[in-house]
Structure 1
């Protein structure tokens, strides 16, 4: 990791850039996949399973028997851990439900807003080198709490043609039964257009590689919504001289091991602490099973030393991190200075991995600077907020003249008349 000492603010935007991706070639490939799935449906999905997943499938749907068989192979310890994590996630997200409050804006005029579930949602759950069953918990639990009628799960098969056992178990305990052995951009295409087996959805959720991400972005062109634009995982840690270098190094590597295109950023006001952390990073990375991926990610990563913590916080807000760890003695104070971040982890005993798995917050978060415009997944992500209004005879008499005056000023006579006919009817005793 290259170290920068007091870089001028004029360079911050450049230093905050994420690893670049050749989107031209990427877009061309994904467009071909989207088009092929749209035209050929299940047949193309089976062909892609052979090409990309190196497995031969007879059908893409996961049967109840297969789900039960796969789930049974999960160890009892992991089952208990998953149940505890699921309970915490449910508790946190359930608290986000809102009871409609009716507001009388004018005598006789009552307005309120109600949360209604998005009817059909698609959940993409990565498989591959690290089946992210935790992502299924993070997405399916709020979807169920919201009351989504159709919940479609797509996850890639292994070379034996089965989904990951852990993902199967999560589907089982959450009562999910619309599950498909499809990964990559082709899964997003299937949920975008629908196939003989896979229902078309209204909104697609979930992390994935650059192909999945690009496919999700393209699905917007076909009338779908997505949770957020996303890119490779990232973390920014702000550490002062009181931070534990071993903890900080472990936190940096917990994100670096996600993939070679991940990025980790270390920021602090004490050069010795930064140096100590980097030494330990180099020691710890060699002990990781995913050492090659983590080492490559560190090439995209940087450390910054500033004269004071205010500058550290300003730099973090400029970077807009997916994950922000405040390894600071006065973490409560500095947390109030955060203006941009996906999720914040406060103090020396709050690792980012707690949010990834079991604290209860959602780990599907905006990356690549999108924390400036987007929030992480929540119960709100799975609902539409619909406004209602009810106006009595007294209400239209009170409010009607206001509407008539405004409509007339805009030259919209029919708008005005919709009120006038009602007021006239009331004058006539109707």
Structure 2
């Protein structure tokens, strides 16, 4: 089922083509998204209602649900489901709570003290995708670190269901996070609403959350056109699985399909050290895909995916680092020796018993990760994503005597006399 290539027979250009994904060569997505953002900027709530009717097929009287609505919806899910969300919440909180640390004061010279202090980003916007699958886990992944960081205002947007509401799972997560309002807006228009602000939806300082290519493009546009920042480019999801002769083909196929069922634009890449492994995985794919409720989406994603045969695990790592996957799974007995060779990946799953699903939901790590090769330069969401670190310094009389002449000389050689004077006048 997977198109197969031999690593050593590929030219540099062919390898480069294989690692490209979710591109917009004709700027069609850019043009569509720019039009949506312009309407939101100029028409505000009116545009959001129009887009809800067009894309979500729902006529919204109110663009939000309040606490009483959220509580009612949360009560519709079973206690077992509530408990599963609570365990995920606790594990995510436990992992992220270790990330908030206070730094020490450093005395760079006698009397010259420098340090940094953490401050939360005051207003953050969280985008929770809807579309073909509603993701309450994403709300936990974004809301928990925002709460730990101490953000003063958390604005949540998610597409409405056809009844004009949200599902009970998202509602229960809102209760766990003590968030009393959710805005019923999806897609690029949600990004625009949080970036520009509308009559109903507040403008935020930073926007978080994964989405399709339209959401990702909207985030990149607003980052370039406004003073609102974004977490990262987090578009259609992807996984790269490295498998050697010790891998269980059924496990590998299950991991590939777990990614493929996200959507037709997802990508699941297998890098194996033998053709025999790929053949066994393909047999398992055929067997497992037919029982999936979302098998049509999974089939389309598999059609957009492929396998690479390498001679060694080292070559497999070379390709993986070039691809820079959102999710990297290493199904090998030798996983420990490969850790130091990983330079580009969003989140890594080690060994035969560590499926990506664990990180997607409940192990504690964050599943909001860079896609499309951006793992070369971006990290996944963490508490650090929701804070700023402000630098401070204090210079005593002794410190000014220690550092003053150095600053005066450097200012003078740069021709900045006023800089020099600011020191000289204090001596």
Q: TM-score range by the shorter chain?
A: over 0.9
Once the two structures are TM-superposed, the CA of residue 300 in structure 1 deviates from its matched residue by 1.0
Give the Cα separation in 2 of the matches to 1:346 and 1:264. 17
Q: Please point out which of 81, 102, 127 is paired with 2:105.
A: 102
3-state DSSP class of the match of 2:426?
A: helix
1:230 aligns with 2:234: yes
Give the Cα separation in 2 of the matches to 1:377 and 1:327. 25
Residues 193-238 of structure 1, C-alpha deviations (whole Å, 9 max, x = no match): 1111111001000011111111111111111100001221110000
Give the Cα separation in 1 of the matches to 2:213 and 2:63. 23
Q: Please point out which of 386, 403, 417 is paired with 2:390.
A: 386
Give the Cα separation in 1 of the matches to 2:369 and 2:319. 20
Q: Please point out which of 350, 357, 364 is paired with 2:354.
A: 350
3-state DSSP class of the match of 2:27?
A: helix
Taking a change above 3 Å as real, the CA distance of residues 94 and 9 of structure 1, as seen in their structure-2 partners, is farther
Q: Please point out which of 294, 297, 302 is paired with 2:298.
A: 294
1:314 aligns with 2:318: yes
Taking a change above 3 Å as real, the CA distance of residues 23 and 322 of structure 1, as seen in their structure-2 partners, is farther
Give the Cα separation in 1 of the matches to 2:123 and 2:23. 33
Judge which range, 351-360 or 10-19, deviates more: 10-19
Match of residue 262 from structure 2: 258
Match of residue 404 from structure 1: 408
Match of residue 89 from structure 1: 92
1:56 aligns with 2:63: no
Report the RMSD for the aligned CA atoms in angstroms: 1.1
Gaps of 5+ in 1: 424-430
Report matched runs for 1:19-34 at 5 Å.
Answer: 19-21=22-24, 24-34=27-37
Once the two structures are TM-superposed, the CA of residue 23 in structure 1 deviates from its matched residue by 5.3
Once the two structures are TM-superposed, the CA of residue 128 in structure 1 deviates from its matched residue by 2.4
Gaps of 5+ in 2: none
1:217 aligns with 2:209: no
Taking a change above 3 Å as real, the CA distance of residues 23 and 168 of structure 1, as seen in their structure-2 partners, is farther
Residues 88-130 of structure 1, C-alpha deviations (whole Å, 9 max, x = no match): 1011111011112000000000011111100110000011221
Equivalenced residue count is 423
TM-score by length of 2: 0.97
Judge which range, 343-352 or 26-35, deviates more: 26-35
Report matched runs for 1:328-339 at 5 Å.
Answer: 328-339=332-343
Judge which range, 21-30 or 319-328, deviates more: 21-30
Give the Cα separation in 1 of the matches to 2:275 and 2:54. 50
Q: Would you say the 8 A contact 2:234–2:368 is kept in 1?
A: no
Taking a change above 3 Å as real, the CA distance of residues 8 and 63 of structure 1, as seen in their structure-2 partners, is same
1:154 aligns with 2:154: no
1:170 aligns with 2:173: yes
Once the two structures are TM-superposed, the CA of residue 5 in structure 1 deviates from its matched residue by 2.0
Give the Cα separation in 1 of the matches to 2:159 and 2:136. 12
Q: Please point out which of 318, 324, 334 is paired with 2:328.
A: 324
Q: Would you say the 8 A contact 1:232–1:367 is kept in 2?
A: yes
1:140 aligns with 2:138: no
3-state DSSP class of the match of 2:188?
A: helix
Once the two structures are TM-superposed, the CA of residue 178 in structure 1 deviates from its matched residue by 3.4
1:203 aligns with 2:206: yes
Once the two structures are TM-superposed, the CA of residue 173 in structure 1 deviates from its matched residue by 1.3
Q: Would you say the 8 A contact 1:260–1:294 is kept in 2?
A: yes
> Which runs of 4 or more aligned residues in structure 1 lie more than 4 Å from their structure 2 counterparts after TM superposition?
none
Match of residue 279 from structure 1: 283
Once the two structures are TM-superposed, the CA of residue 9 in structure 1 deviates from its matched residue by 5.4
Give the Cα separation in 2 of the matches to 1:191 and 1:327. 40
Q: Would you say the 8 A contact 2:127–2:190 is kept in 1?
A: yes
Give the Cα separation in 2 of the matches to 1:407 and 1:148. 39
Match of residue 3 from structure 2: 2
3-state DSSP class of the match of 1:422?
A: coil
3-state DSSP class of the match of 2:349?
A: strand
Once the two structures are TM-superposed, the CA of residue 396 in structure 1 deviates from its matched residue by 0.7
3-state DSSP class of the match of 2:104?
A: coil
Taking a change above 3 Å as real, the CA distance of residues 23 and 181 of structure 1, as seen in their structure-2 partners, is farther
Give the Cα separation in 1 of the matches to 2:40 and 2:23. 28
TM-score by length of 1: 0.96
